[in-house]
Amino acid sequence: MEDDRVAAVTGVGGFFPREERDASPGATNAGVDTLLRGNFYVVVKYRLNETVRFGSATYYQPATGDFQDFLALEQASLQVKLTDRLDLSFSLEITHDSHPPQFFDQTDVICRTGIEYQF
């Protein structure tokens, strides 16, 4: 039996980011970083009922030469239909860098609440 309330996608890939950092007072990591990173992800969408939808995208991106150097990202959202054109939305984004640049936190968390109007 097919269930249209749930959709899931997973994937594997790679990318070659280039990060430039300016010299900051007291910093020792200025310059350019280039690493080959893997990219593993899972995206899930779930419709609880006619008015509530949930979505999640999770990424794990290790450096290919050092699996202890990784980036992780979670993006989750909840949408509640208020009218045919108006939704209330809640979102959570968590990013983690196991080896962040100097003076940056390893983990950042952003929460958002909003109203979405469809034209």
Residue 4 pLDDT:
77
What distance in Å separates the CA atoms of residue 89 and residue 78, rounded to the nearest whole number? 6
Question: CA-to-CA distance for 115 and 19, rounded, in angstroms?
Answer: 34
What letter would DSSP give residue 28? S
Cα pseudo-dihedral 62, 63, 66, 69, rounded to 10:
-60
Q: Which pLDDT score is estimated for 24? A: 66
Residue bearing the bigger pLDDT, 94 or 2: 94
Query: What's the pLDDT at 1?
Result: 40
What are the tens digits of pLDDT across the range 26-50? 666 655 667 789 999 999 999 999 9
Total-model pTM = 0.81
7 or 4, which is more confident?
Answer: 7
Instruction: Kindly state the average pLDDT of the residues 94-105.
Output: 89
Q: Confidence class of residue 68 from pLDDT cuts 50, 70 and 90?
A: very high
Q: Domain extents for the chain?
A: 6-15+34-117
DSSP-derived secondary structure letter, 94: E
Give 3-state DSSP helix, strand, coil % of the chain, rounded to 5. 0, 65, 35
Alpha-carbon span 68 to 36, nearest angstrom = 14
Residue partners of 37: CB distance under 8 A and separation at least 6: 14, 15, 16, 17, 61, 62, 63, 64, 71
